[in-house]
Structure 1
């Protein structure tokens, strides 16, 4: 039964992953996004203490 011989299938799997890991990341990272994320203010907002009317 030839499907149980792992030699050609392991090589195909290895080469296909090698191609995926070398070609696809450069293609994915080359895309530009129209809206760049804005920087957030690092200053923490001042939290006012609660004023309870019964105390």
Structure 2
């Protein structure tokens, strides 16, 4: 039964993970968001107090 011999399968596993770890992350990290977030101003807006008519 060749399935029980781990030598070729372990080499395939190691090579596959090396390919995943060297090629995939740079491609994923090179993508940019389409809508970049805007920096909101730190100015506080003046809010009027809420007048409760029933109190």
Q: Distance in 2 between matches of 1:19 and 1:2?
A: 25
RMSD between aligned residues: 1.9
Larger deviation: 33-42 or 16-25?
Answer: 33-42
Gapped regions of structure 1 (runs ≥ 5): 43-55
Instruction: Report the TM-score, using the length of structure 2 for normalisation.
Output: 0.64
2 CA distance for matches of 1:40 and 1:15? 46
Unaligned segments of structure 2, at least 5 residues = 43-55
Structure-1 separation of matches of 2:40 and 2:7:
53
* Cα distance change, pair 34–5 in 1 and its aligned pair in 2 (3 A): same
Instruction: Report deviation, 1:39.
Output: 4.6
